[in-house]
Structure 1
């Protein structure tokens, strides 16, 4: 089956910026107390439920997977970009990373205790978002957890230059109420939601949603 043009463009963009992206964001969590708080709650709930494999879906250079692994989780990172996976394996050699698409995850049905999509649903067009959430629901076991992070808004941003490179990448901001609808439709229930104001150079509010697979 042929790939959607947005998938090809997203892979090409992140292959292009992988090394500079990894360098720029390597220590970003140290300055992001809200990010750490949501990740810590996610990790605590996974541990409290008995643990199990956790998928970092759209893991980029592995900084979130590495953070969660340091907190005792059994993390597997997947990313569309081979160059991002190379950077992740280099920077976090103790964590397993694979090249794969979020639309066709390399996990069995109910194979994960939890999953997170950390600013990675933002490149999938509106008309295919429901399919993405259905795939998340397929791989997360009943009572498992799903953590999402995304920019809040209604617009589509076309990036032509970022991280020191020319590229062609679309990012789609999301509305929390629409995300909640998609979660419920896919078989999740919302446990917690946080929306914070932007911190420069961010240009829009940032949202985090923690959900349980029912």
Structure 2
């Protein structure tokens, strides 16, 4: 069941969908470290069994398209119909669906990879374990998960004003622990400082693999 927090965030993004799409489209071109961690995730996925990959919380679709360019059989899912409309118009050769990350219309073990690129940031902290549980359900054992988020350093999980909707910073160790509790094994992590023009918050990235025998 989609949480009220997720629905409120989706409505907020729908209200600014066109503006957001214009701002987000070229983000990766100026972020070499982000491209590097996405490329590492894609390489891990390609090294395993073939199968589909989902970008969950795909917004207007630029990261989905980038993953396609890296050789993945990828589609995008987002709870905002307005964002999905823009993604379909911008990338007509790709598949995009309206759906919620905590209640996916996918079979168990269907995916070989999941990218959640700054898409769990609006979930209240107590809701995040349910997202990991859904990731575990739809991801085949040995499949890989990529998380992008705002990192809290040594501080606790903390809300901040994201302008679109309230978002949360996470200590990377705490988020990695939630992944381990859900059956994921950490493959690697990357932290970077904000670039010029970005909000002054550290970025965190985790690549995790679903352990064999989990389900």
| 2:98 aligned partner | 99
Shift of the 175–83 alpha-carbon distance from structure 1 to 2, 3 Å rule, reads same
Secondary structure in 1 aligned to 2:199?
coil
Partner of 1:207: 204
Contact 2:7 2:79 (8 Å CA) reproduced:
no
**What is the alpha-carbon distance in structure 2 between the residues aligned to residue 4 and residue 129 of structure 1?**
11
- Measured after TM superposition, the shift of residue 112 of structure 1 is 0.2
The Cα shift of 1:152 comes to 0.7
1:155 corresponds, among 154, 158, 166, to 158
Q: Structure 1 segments of 4 or more deviating over 4 A?
A: none
Residue-pair matches, total: 206
Is 2:176 the partner of 1:173? Answer: no
Rounded Cα–Cα distance in structure 1 between residues aligned with 2:24 and 2:65 = 13
- Output aligned runs, 1:42-61, within 5 Å: 42-61=41-60
Deviation at 1:44, TM superposition (A): 1.2
Q: With the length of structure 1 as denominator, give the TM-score of the two structures.
A: 0.92
The reply on whether 1:139 has 2:138 as its aligned counterpart is: yes
Give the alignment's Cα RMSD to 1 decimal.
1.3
More strand by share: 1
* Residue pair 1:111, 1:141 contacting (<8 A) in 2 also: yes
